[in-house]
Amino acid sequence: MPKTANIEDLRQRARRRIPRFLFDFVEGGADDEFTVRANREAFGRHAFRARSLVDVSTRDLSTTLLGQRLELPLILGPVGLAGLLAPGGERLAARAAVKKGALFTLSTMSVCTIEEVAAAVPAPGWFQLYIWKDRGITRSLVERAKAAGYTALCVTVDVPDMGNRERDVRNGFTVPPRLTVANAFDLLLHLGWVLRMTRSPRATFGNFEDSKALTRRDAVSVAAYTSRQFDASITWADLQWLRELWPGPLVLKGISCAEDARRAVEHGVQALVVSNHGGRQLDGLPAALDVLPEIVDAVGGRAEVILDGGVRRGSDVVKAIALGARACMIGRPYLYGLAADGQAGVELALELFRKEIDRTLTLLGCPRLDQLDASYLRGPGEAPRLSLPAGRTSTG
């Protein structure tokens, strides 16, 4: 098999290794997937301004995030159902993050439980919260995360209801996944995945008893399950309630305009994730990278800003940090690794990023990540657009 040179190669490996309905769940976005594509294309509108004759013989890729030192400026974003890609998927990804000096965020909607992931690593990372209509359940999630030692609560604010994921509708994707006439051939082609999953203790949302009880006969779509549970009535006022439950750092994920960024800071949020949920929620939102400068400006250093969406290259990370992000969050890139080769695949994804960030800093003439600023970029209008071959989001 040819060597895996970049994240796109890892994506191709993942595509071959898991059933189509699962790959589509990972890959897909909402409606026409305009925002999914926009996230990626935005990076091509920024070109570098490199400096020459700078001593770049040693480089420093480290950063600090909410006081924690990271060897790599990368956060594995919260991802529901990662445990369907490989048995124990969330545990494997959390271990890979620790090994490579990145940070892991566990989703409320994980297959492994809050406690299982915490027990798999020396110190757990962040816990991502979806607010349930039943506040007793929400409270219990926060208390479990606190007891298990998660270091920050990352509240996702862009899912009052699920985005319209048409690939999942078409594929009839359910939790737990079901054998149907339509997907029988797909499953037959991926017997390795079927066998691997028979070793998995569960294929549903592990943190919830009602979900754990779901059988293949009463399987539900992700949209139906979350619509029943997620609270679409939450407002800024509810953050105060969360503050009382969670004394540690609070992160808001899914901020996409300056007004909300300012409000988040006024509510004492320590970090915010500029994100459109990887284009999976409101289709038509601009690329996360395009709204980053407006948000960095609105925050004015009063909170840490993280860029999430479309990051596929080390050079993307360098561009986001030059525009004021402290770190980048990645979703699909590490899921490709997990699907392709379990923990080793996630480590490979992170190693590809590490090498690319390192090489970019070297060639850019900026040996330290913390020295990056907008002077290392030529913005849209200042430089010709860098474009990939038609229809490609990366090479490979």
DSSP state of 165: -
Query: x-or-dash pattern for ligand COI, window 72-111, by CB under 6 A?
Result: --------xx---------------------------x--
Q: Is 4 in the site for ligand FMN (CB under 6 A)?
A: no
Residue 190 interacts, among ligand FMN, ligand COI, none and using kind-specific CB cut-offs from 5 to 8 Å, with: none
User: Measured at CB, which residue is nearest to ligand FMN?
Assistant: 331
Q: What is the DSSP string of 182-225?
A: TTHHHHHHTHHHHHHHHTSS-SS-TT-HHHHT--STT-B-HHHH
Kindly determine how many residues on this chain lie close enough to bind ligand FMN according to the rule CB under 6 A. 23
Residue 278 CB, nearest distance to ligand COI (Å)? 7
Q: Is 332 in the site for ligand FMN (CB under 6 A)?
A: yes
Token pair for residue 354?
């590490």
Strands 63-65 and 103-106: unpaired
Contact 311, 317 (CB under 8 A): yes
d(CA 173, CA 178): 8
C-alpha distance from residue 210 to each of 25, 116, 255 (Å): 22, 18, 31
Catalytic residues: 277
Q: Other C-beta atoms within 10 Å of 225: how many?
A: 21
The answer on whether 365 is annotated among ligand-binding residues is no
Residue 205 CB, nearest distance to ligand COI (Å)? 7
Residue 222 interacts, among ligand FMN, ligand COI, none and using kind-specific CB cut-offs from 5 to 8 Å, with: ligand COI
Cα dihedral 142/87/306/41 (nearest 10): -140
The answer on whether 80 is annotated among ligand-binding residues is yes
Nearer to ligand COI, 20 or 99 (CB): 20
The answer on whether 275 is annotated among ligand-binding residues is yes
**In the block, residue with structure tokens 């915490």:** 118
Residue 280 CB, nearest distance to ligand COI (Å)? 4
Interaction with ligand COI in 131-160: which residues (CB under 6 A)? Answer: 159
Q: Is 310 in the site for ligand FMN (CB under 6 A)?
A: yes
Identify the residue among 45, 46, 91, 280 touching ligand COI (CB under 6 A).
280
d(CA 349, CA 338): 9
**In the block, residue with structure tokens 């359940």:** 137
Q: Which residues are documented as binding site for FMN?
A: 78-80, 107, 128, 130, 156, 253, 275, 308-312, 331-332
Residues at the contact surface with ligand FMN, assessed by CB under 6 A: 25-26, 39, 77-80, 107, 109, 128, 156, 253, 275, 277-278, 280, 308-311, 330-332
